[in-house]
Amino acid sequence: MQATRLKTDYLIAGAGAVGMAFADTLLSETDATITIVDRHAKPGGHWNVAYPFVTLHQPSTFYGVNSKELSRGVKDATGLNAGLGDLASGAEVAAYFDDVMRNTFLPSGRVRYFPMCDFDGDKAFTSRLTGERWEIEITRKLVDATYLKTSTPSMHTPAFEIAEGARVVPPNDLMHISEKPDGFVVMGAGKTAIDTCLWLLAQGIEPDNIRWIKPRDGWLLDRENAQTDPAFFKSSIGSQALQFEAIAASTSREDMFDRLEASGYFLRIDPNTRPTMFHAATVSRAEIDELRRITQRVRMGRVRAVGTTEISLEHGTIPTTPKTLHIDCTASAITNLEMRPVFEGERITPQTVRPYQPVFSAAFIAHVEATKPEEDKNRTCNVIPLPNKADDYIPLTIQFMMNQFNWGQDPELRAWLKASRLDGFAKLVSGIPEEDSEKRAIIGRIKAASMPAMAKLQQYNAELKAKGERHA
């Protein structure tokens, strides 16, 4: 079949949240033509195959594209998020991105969208349905919005053996249970496992009927500290002051984490087990209380094999039954932790330039592409390493503070951040009235503690490098 030739200013590989946020800013701030290629049938990336009970774990105000609000602008009235900003469900997020594509991108006349297509990485892509092939001339840049390789439970291949007759399912399949299991085993320690445990409890499953296999325990973030409503200024901005003060006062890495927990910046489920993982999962304190009802927490390493009578783990075995339902929550949300420069000639690779906020980062990078000279772009978009181990919090926070400082020196960037709906905090800290002494005092505490905190972080990072625990 002869290839069809196309011409575009930007080719974006991936119509997930990152690709959509990048395209939205390009569409708003340039006159460029944009071609978006994606393997899914609809925009939204992994949200198309997410488990049915998934929600955002940060407020909806932080998510989506810059030009269109996702949040309903309300606080949840019931449930474990009551009193905090609404959390969009997976279905709401998928419908939102579909709406952005159909009612913002395509009507512009400058965006072409090719779903159900595989991009071959060499300026060509092929339809999964028809086999039709397109060769594309890119006049400006290729944007690889698939680099982080988001993984979902339903697409995940377990890294452990499954015996014939053993019942192992992803969270997606919980909706299809037709008979009562003997019990439930949740395998995994991240946000998917947290969501699954909370869903099971919400369905009335007794806590004693749930076993939770946790290879590692993780530090968690308090959702109350991520609210953009001005009423939460003391929590959201105050937590940043408490964070820097805790770091500045610390005497060791271990002491720093203890102080961060005591300040309310970090949470953990089990007070008697020290976390060794940090994936930035964000929870409410009510969710923590609910999760603590599950007392059968298995800490014997990763799952090696699931049989009909026992589960083999790295450090032992535990019994099971043929009718026990084992829920595989072991997929890593991000499977590519390697960093590369964002701007490399004719290629842009969006990555996080602000921690925990991939869509803000994508929109920011697109703005830098649209407005900054080539030689300044990578200096403006220093990549923040994605965390895995607890100590990864240290280099992550160093780079976050450096980025924030550098952006603050640029009046144009300051104005963009203040106007960006994806920057939840810029509006909170701008224009504080002189008479609001409480808020001004919090800002003063952040300024006073930031340099001492940076000095401690750099000291701890040097210690990690000396021990060979950091590569950079």
333-to-191, 268, 299, 343 alpha-carbon distances in Å: 9, 20, 21, 24
The DSSP call for residue 32 is -
> Of 241, 266, 235, which Cα lies nearest the Cα of 84?
235
Q: Is the dihedral of CA 119, 30, 386, 286 positive or negative?
A: negative
Span 408-429, average pLDDT: 92
- Residue-wise pLDDT tens digits, 282-341: 999 999 999 999 999 999 999 999 999 999 999 999 999 999 999 999 987 666 568 999
- Residue-wise pLDDT tens digits, 202-245: 999 999 999 999 999 999 999 999 999 999 999 999 999 999 99
- Tell me what pLDDT residue 427 has: 83
- Residue-wise pLDDT tens digits, 90-135: 999 999 999 999 999 999 999 999 999 999 887 899 999 999 999 9
- Tell me what pLDDT residue 255 has: 98
- Tell me what pLDDT residue 152 has: 74
Span 179-202, average pLDDT: 96
- Tell me what pLDDT residue 472 has: 42
Residue 430 binned pLDDT confidence (cut-offs 50, 70, 90): confident
Structure tokens at 452: 């001492």
- Tell me what pLDDT residue 225 has: 97
**Cα 85 to Cα 221: distance, rounded to the nearest angstrom:** 15
Residue 181 binned pLDDT confidence (cut-offs 50, 70, 90): very high
Residue 470 has pLDDT above 70, yes or no: no
Higher pLDDT, 317 or 155: 317
Residue 471 binned pLDDT confidence (cut-offs 50, 70, 90): very low
Question: Identical fold at 4-150+334-380 and 153-217+268-328?
Answer: yes
- Tell me what pLDDT residue 469 has: 64
SS3 227: coil
Structure tokens at 339: 């960093």
State the average pLDDT for the chain.
94
> Of 149, 150, 119, 140, which Cα lies nearest the Cα of 26?
140
Are 297 and 313 a contacting pair, CB within 8 Å?
no
Q: Give strand ranges (E) for 165-309.
A: 167-169, 184-187, 210-213, 218-222, 266-267, 277-283, 297-298, 303-306
Residue 171 has pLDDT above 70, yes or no: yes
CATH number listed for the domain at residues 153-217+268-328: 3.50.50.60
Residue 403 has pLDDT above 90, yes or no: yes
**Cα 383 to Cα 368: distance, rounded to the nearest angstrom:** 14
**Cα 144 to Cα 141: distance, rounded to the nearest angstrom:** 10
Structure tokens at 463: 């210690």
Domain ranges across the chain: 4-150+334-380, 153-217+268-328
Q: How many CB atoms lie within 10 A of CB 78?
A: 7
Rounded to 5°, the CA angle 195-199-200 comes to 120
- Residue-wise pLDDT tens digits, 237-280: 999 999 999 999 999 999 999 999 999 999 999 999 999 999 99
CATH number listed for the domain at residues 4-150+334-380: 3.50.50.60
Question: Within 13 Å and on the Cβ side, how many CA atoms surround 96?
Answer: 24
